[in-house]
Chains A and B, each alone.
Chain A
């Protein structure tokens, strides 16, 4: 039964990681940018929750969605659009800079201490299910993620702009050459990544009950690892990567000897490095991200 319990933990954690990974992978696929500031989108969502926690749920959710989307679009417009033609290393550093910037703005306004946010505390209780005790939050997380991912897949498959985004992800220049508006596609990607980030922030705040200016950092590192493992740029890849890392993480937590457990994240990253040797392009190779000779 412990195994089943762990399995559910793994799936729900994997779902969150998959959402975070997708946020990173989506932007990477259209812009070759690894957006470190994605963590700050999550953090901004969290702080919006903090500010509006007394409001009705629907208002809160809407506000978070709007704030993260606007912040994402703002980042794109101000910091990343001028750098669109830059090399990947410059893009990476610039996202680092944006991350640092947003963190310290929030630090300046709110201070460094974590602050409690009672968001959806009713999800903290568990349900009895086939002899297992499953926290309601995990159930909601898994269902929401599945619905969201299905929605995204449908969006990419059936909508015009979704098709354009897929084309841009494969061959950005050619997409422009058939008339796809670069700015529009990239803006959409950022807006969607903002929404994905807000989902992650809902989970994090509900789970931990607090927000702090550094709350996005850990998540973005895991998201980054997940999307590399799964293969950046596809919904399937992000999902796969996220779930894998979730499984690895929960398994390590459960099966590592007690005195090694604090090092769990180090193990995750060591596995990540090993993975880089095995499959540097990710499990689901997305087209030619390496130099074509």
Chain B
């Protein structure tokens, strides 16, 4: 059941500089807003920091969220900020437990929008099984931000069976992608100013930790690496894996799972799905002999229905990612330089 909180009565319809002053307005915003919605035993102490209970090896990750527009088909910046960090912690083979949450708000942000984002944050935390234990709110002058920026930091306990390390990646390993790629990037583009087009494409922002943990329960050591190919798309993450492992990667183009509408949009807009951003997608590098079993298991998860073996690790062309198509043609998939720019014709 998702939280459906009515917004409390605030004195202002918009965020003002006073809401970041640390004084009365800040406390009002926090009391009847943030603390109320995100309430938990640790946050409710309202200390300068939080005291945490953690066992064993810890995974730790941070991320900042500056997406525009802040509301997009399939989600908003709030749930993105939770899922993004939860997923980064999960990629370490860990069970995410605690989050910090910092807002940088631009003066003039409608209170209704802030509220909607806050409620999304709460719902995303509940879905992922994490709690916000500490945070901060600052307000900047109008024009010095873009409505709202969010930073989250996450801490998790490493799964006892996890052995995630780039050094474990070896020749023959299979590369699995958990779901259709490029969906998030195209959903954002479809609502960017000046480029609005009618599609049913929705961002796939989602937590991945439950799927990750379930895979580790069953396959432990056979999973050598998890990665979360967000900005820069699949190409950047795979190039990083090739670079850091000193091995080559070969991909089969026809095995890349891409939604038909997303593929069409990429064609028309002159964009390459390999370079387009993802959210609820992860890459797993796994032992060759367990790859099929792992994909079969993944397909039973709601957010991995299109899991597919897309390629393998080889010792030819070290540090390079090469993709082959059905004609037998090959090309290098290089790391993206700067932002992806549409071609003229």
Partners in one complex: no
Give A residues with C-beta under 8 Å from B.
Answer: none
